[in-house]
Chains A and B, each alone.
Chain A
């Protein structure tokens, strides 16, 4: 196979950006993606089979057959999971990765999120750390992500965000009914409500039209292509450069190394299951936090007996995501207006600054709840079945508001991805095994956040509220998975350096949610994108200076 300059593994949020930045800079790139490229005609809106509600399977991968994972709970009990089951901790497997079907909330973390240890100190037993980069380092790249991917919204209602040089490129969508109910209530409480930043066209942008406000957004692809992911922005640009070849349904197996300990290529199974080797000068792993760790651990050789980048047993550790906490409020009038995407209003007053808590989290109203989402979210006294349940569904469906948020996680080194010693996928590769949990202080923060959501809903006129504080006994590292190849200056305490380069292999990079030192009190994708732009810029710079060509 003809040698190329770079192989990028995974065409998701980060991988799409890296492929675009490298190919536009003139490097020849092969972009490997294990899933297919879906088009608008595949976007069918199925309440039981999408990327968020998956009882009948994942709409956008992986398929249930041949792709298991294993988890180990606190008692040591082991379980094998299908990709459509919660314990699998899935994101997606297709061109665009999670960004084809995500909710598209596009948050910047706050300056303190990069300085967690300095701000709060690390709780005993946690692995809370500072990032080796600051908000200010990342700010230009946040902006680049907001403009290239396309983000709508309006931060002007809140002082609680990092400094920005420019406003968002698009105004927010017009408010829905929940916005109008929650906004004055928040203001009465002295809070600062504002429009959620969303990677969604509110006006024509980037050659595509605006959102038509349907009922089926989060978990679904957009039939009018108004939701902005890597599949309809950076990946087409990469392909148009003439320097990038996208190979779909190609599963990377391992990073191949030479006898000097440098990467020489990538082995992968092509669409017909044949093992191929793609030689290259640089390898970029962007397979999402769990699969990136698995791929490095599976890349064993004489010089890297425990997997590449894993000299100090750091690959796979500090796995985190977000435990969501919040509350449901029930009203005595219709709060539902059937205007998608539903999520519209947020507060970030509570992300930092509460004494006794290491951080907090953003709170926002939920995306549209499909009827199936309400079956177990009814007022506490509702029967679970029978006429009473049916009546409660009728009474509550259009009359509730849900306020939730991603609680800042306090990571631990024990929450981790390893390779399962026995279970293999359909290609014969050891699968990811997930164990451990985040630090219990995470749940203290979550409890306070749930009470705050409840207070906001009460102020807005909810007759009853149900608090949902989450005391999960395992990690919540599905859609928001991060942390497994931590970025740091110390090669013994991290996997990659501030440029996302593996400490002891100068031509292998990990660029995706894996490198997050902590995951902020916000949905992670815009930070993943900003880091991808930043790391790509430094990679291109080293390429030009040429340390990377072999």
Chain B
């Protein structure tokens, strides 16, 4: 179930990139109106690579699989409008670092190379790196209503009950002998 969700999310992402924002997508593509509200597709591809280095997949979804791009994209048209320029410049810089060192855009180099680029970004443009780190963690660990933390996946990962059991989690109901 977990793995399948991950694969689905990745495939949807590729379709979205290919469709270049023209087609209305069916299924569960992360952005609810069928495309990004703010991000250009190329920027979304770079951002996905950055976010998934900040929170990679392991037994639990990566940032983008949990909807973090939807979170950031939506907020760039709402509360984080003021950060749009920083995103445009920062993503462009990340892509440029990747092309200079590895000869290809960030979304198409290897995971190891992406990690190296994001580390370089952290030192070369700490302002943008801190912003995107913060926003990625917000999207992943914040409330699902904003498009990230899909199905409260991070809360489940941390062992929180979802939906919350309002005060009942203090009892370990598995304890004791079966009778």
Contacts and interface: CB of A to CB of B under 8 A. Distances in A.
A in complex with B: yes
Interface in B129-170: 133-134, 137-138, 141-143, 145-146, 154-155, 157-161, 164-167, 169-170
Contact of A385 (B54, B146, B164, B170): B54
A337 B159 contact: no
Given A47-B142, A340-B167, A386 B161 contact: no
Contact of B138 (A48, A57, A389): A48
B6 interface: no
Contacts of A375: 137, 141
A214 B166 contact: yes
Given A338-B165, A340-B167, A384-B133, A48 B146 contact: yes
B30 interface: no
B133 A385 contact: yes
Contacts of A212: 166-167
B77 to A, nearest CB: 13
B159 A398 contact: yes
B75 interface: yes
A46 interface: yes
Contacts of A337: 169-170
A340 B160 CA distance: 13
Contact of A397 (B55, B159, B167): B159
Interface in B50-92: 53-56, 58, 60, 75, 78-79
Interface in A56-105: 56-57, 64
Given A48-B146, A56-B75, A371 B141 contact: yes
Nearest to A214: B166
Contacts of B159: 334, 397-398
B67 to A, nearest CB: 14
A403 interface: no
Nearest to A54: B79
B25 interface: no
B129 to A, nearest CB: 9
A311 interface: no
Contacts of A338: 160-161, 164-165, 167, 169-170
B109 interface: no
A46 B145 contact: yes
A259 B76 CA distance: 53
A215 interface: yes
A176 interface: yes
Contacts of B58: 387, 390-391
A448 to B, nearest CB: 32
A275 interface: no
Interface in A480-500: none
B158 A397 contact: yes
Interface in A334-392: 334, 337-340, 371-372, 374-375, 384-387, 389-391
Interface in A273-304: none
A386 B53 contact: yes
A298 B95 CA distance: 51
A117 interface: no
Contacts of A384: 133
Contacts of A177: 170
A397 B141 CA distance: 12
Nearest to A57: B79
A536 B76 CA distance: 48
B115 interface: yes
A168 B18 CA distance: 66
B158 A213 contact: no
Tell me what chain B mostly uses at the interface: helix, strand, loop, or mixed.
Answer: loop
Nearest to B171: A337
A374 B146 CA distance: 19
Contacts of B134: 55
Nearest to A53: B142
A398 B146 CA distance: 24
A199 to B, nearest CB: 19
Contact of B167 (A64, A339, A386): A339
Nearest to B142: A48
A394 B158 contact: yes
A198 interface: no
B170 A371 contact: no
A266 interface: no
Contacts of B137: 372, 375
A214 B134 CA distance: 26
A340 B58 CA distance: 31
Contact of A387 (B56, B79, B143): B56
A213 B166 contact: yes
A393 interface: yes
Given A214-B164, A371-B154, A394-B158, A385 B53 contact: yes
A177 B60 CA distance: 28
A177 B134 CA distance: 30
Contacts of B166: 212-214
Nearest to B50: A385
Given A48-B138, A385-B133, A393 B167 contact: no
Interface string A529-541: 0000000000000
A166 to B, nearest CB: 29
Contact of A386 (B54, B141, B170): B54
Q: Of residues B55, B137, B164, which shows the largest number of chain A Cβ atoms within 10 Å of its Cβ? A: B137
A340 B169 CA distance: 11
A258 to B, nearest CB: 45
A278 B135 CA distance: 46
Contacts of B142: 47-48, 371-372
Nearest to A334: B159
Nearest to A396: B158
A374 B143 CA distance: 14
Given A214-B166, A372-B142, 18 more contacts: A45-B143, A47-B143, A56-B146, A57-B79, A212-B166, A337-B170, A338-B165, A338-B167, A340-B167, A371-B142, A372-B141, A375-B141, A385-B133, A386-B53, A386-B54, A387-B56, A389-B54, A391-B58
Would you list the 7 A-B pairs with minimal beta carbon distance, nearest first? A213-B167, A338-B169, A371-B141, A48-B142, A337-B170, A397-B158, A385-B54
6 contacts: A47-B143, A56-B78, A176-B170, A372-B137, A384-B133, A386-B53
